[in-house]
Chains A and B, each alone.
Chain A
Amino acid sequence: MSNLSNINLKIWRQDGPDSQGRFETHQIPEISDEASFLEMLDILNERLIEEGKEAVVFDHDCREGICGTCSLMIDGQAHGPQRGTATCQLHMRQFDSGAEIVIEPWRASAFPIIKDLMVDRSPFDRIVEAGGYITAPTGGAPDANLIPIPKPVADASMDAAACIGCGACVAACPNGAASLFTGAKISHLNLLPQGQAERYKRTEAMVEEMDSHFGSCTNHGECEAACPKEISIDNIATMNADYARSKFKNRKALSR
């Protein structure tokens, strides 16, 4: 264990959704390399509060990479320079003494800034509400293996289900698209037998809800690189394929 010294933080401060924001510079004279990135911000905030200044507002909750609450664009990368982790799993050992670290909130029109580094990600909830569920009376817990699912299918579904809804895909996308999030939520259910009954209705509703908030996918692949759960852009292809199918299937059903 060793210490880092003289970290310069350039942090985005914004008083409210409609205020003019600005970068503010703070110095961390010394910090353990075992501190997490958020702990470093906690230490900064304690100091700011002691000095009678306003603490930097940022989202955080579980701090173990499973809740999807933390965000932060760190040095131009969503969730910072480490692949496959959320900001809360990023540690100061990833940085060097004397480094300047630029911290910005997620930027997307659908994610308005609430304050400082905290954004409102509720359009994701709107997308899930549009169809990211199964409408079936589930009763008590069923026996294991009651519905046979091939292992690769279960794996693919679980990989998609790993999405924690943090919004890094939108933040990293040059177009502010939410295709990876929506694709993951759709694939997660569409791959499983339980999801088949509402497969096309779900896909159509979720894609169209997504469309009213976010940009479009141009297949850069930045989302996949930024995703703390390393969700594959294969899920976007699954979504696209099912969306076109939904148009055919629904049309057939409606015409009868």
Chain B
Amino acid sequence: MAQTLSRGPVTGTALQANAAKRKPFLLDLYGTAVGKKYVMAITGLVGIGFVLSHMIGNLKAYLGVVTEGDERMYDIDVYGEFLRELLVPILPHGYTLWLLRLGLIGALVLHLHAAWSLTQLNRKARSVKYQSERDYQVANFASRSMRWTGLIVLTFIAWHLADLTWGWVNPDFVHGAVYRNLDASLSRVPVAILYIVANIALGIHLFHGTWSLFQSVGANNPRFNRWRKAAAAGVATVIVVGNVSFPIATLSGIIDFDPDAITCCVDQEGHSE
């Protein structure tokens, strides 16, 4: 076959090593798709860590009321206050929580930016699509819907903050009264359904993400490779089952705020009503 196209410049390493001025190390790594996948994996791992501990923390809602001295209070409210009190003798009240939040916000921003630029790159890499139907062999629903499940989760995060952190969309919101707010929000059937749907999307996202991050950071060892998919399924299942249990428990009355059950400590409006 005759060569029909001209050859591009040869990019041999011997002649051109260090020819291009490199950016600082981390930016240099982030400059390539492989580097961006590292960022996706590491920020994703931060996200998994957060979601897992968030879910475990929320399980405190099932512990109901605890008694400390003469005061009775919801255990999860105590836990919420504990988060603000983290490392308190070392850092002032609320500082550690904000440091953790800044870390999460940074991870989220990086995860989104990397996802956005990789998506753009991938669109460009196949500017003309296949004109006939593709017959995928192993790509599963989770891997193919990452961008959609990611967007659902992102939208949900915004709602979730507006609902239970800022209280904008929670009609009966009292700052710091975690148990009360949880009950007020999730007792609304459409909201409960929203939480269930969003968490299933999160689980699908995490199933592919957890498996995929091992590949992205090159954690590939024949000894544990067969456990990677199982670990991903386990992580996703634990998080989804834990999180979906909250709206279900609220709707079925297992989580039910009772102002008379507590005597402390946040100013619970409506307590005396």
Contact = CB atoms under 8 A, between A and B. Distances in A.
**Are A and B associated in one complex?**
yes
Interface of A: 10, 12, 21, 23, 59, 73, 75-77, 81, 102, 104, 107-110, 114, 120, 122, 125-126, 129-131, 135, 172, 174-177, 198, 201-202, 205, 207-209, 211, 213-222, 224-226, 233-234, 236-244, 247, 251, 254
Contacts of A238: 218, 220
Given A76-B130, A77-B135, A176 B218 contact: no
A244 B218 contact: yes
A207 B34 contact: yes
Interface in B6-31: 7-8, 10-14, 17-18, 25, 28-29
Nearest to B131: A104
B32 A211 contact: yes
Contacts of B129: 107
B137 A10 contact: no
A177 B219 contact: no
B133 interface: yes
A216 B118 contact: yes
Given A237-B215, A237-B219, A240-B215, A201 B17 contact: yes
Interface in B215-254: 215-220, 222, 225
Contact of B214 (A201, A205, A218, A237): A237
Contacts of B121: 215-216
B36 to A, nearest CB: 7
B216 A219 contact: yes
B6 to A, nearest CB: 9
Q: Which of A205, A238, A242 has the most CB of B within 10 A?
A: A205
Contact of A109 (B13, B37, B127): B127
Given A177-B122, A205-B11, A254-B18, A222 B220 contact: no
A98 to B, nearest CB: 18
A129 B17 CA distance: 13
Contact of A218 (B17, B130, B212, B218): B212
A101 B11 CA distance: 40
Contacts of A114: 4-5
Contacts of B11: 126, 129-130, 205, 209
Interface string B104-120: 00000000000000100
Interface residues of B, number: 57
Nearest to B134: A76
Max chain A CB contacts within 10 Å: which of B211, B220, B225?
B220
Nearest to B10: A129
Contact of A23 (B131, B135, B217, B225): B131
A244 B217 contact: yes
Contact of B217 (A131, A225, A233, A241): A241
A38 B132 CA distance: 20
A197 B222 CA distance: 25
B7 to A, nearest CB: 7
Interface stretch (B74-82, B139-147, B259-267): B139-147
A242 B133 CA distance: 36
Contact of B126 (A109, A211, A219, A222): A109
B125 A176 contact: yes
A219 B143 contact: yes
Contacts of A109: 124-128
A183 to B, nearest CB: 10
B33 A216 contact: yes
Given A125-B7, A225-B137, A243-B35, 6 more contacts: A73-B132, A218-B146, A218-B212, A225-B138, A240-B37, A244-B29
A247 B218 contact: no
A104 B127 CA distance: 15
Interface in B168-220: 208, 211-212, 214-220
Given A76-B134, A176-B122, A219-B208, A233 B4 contact: no
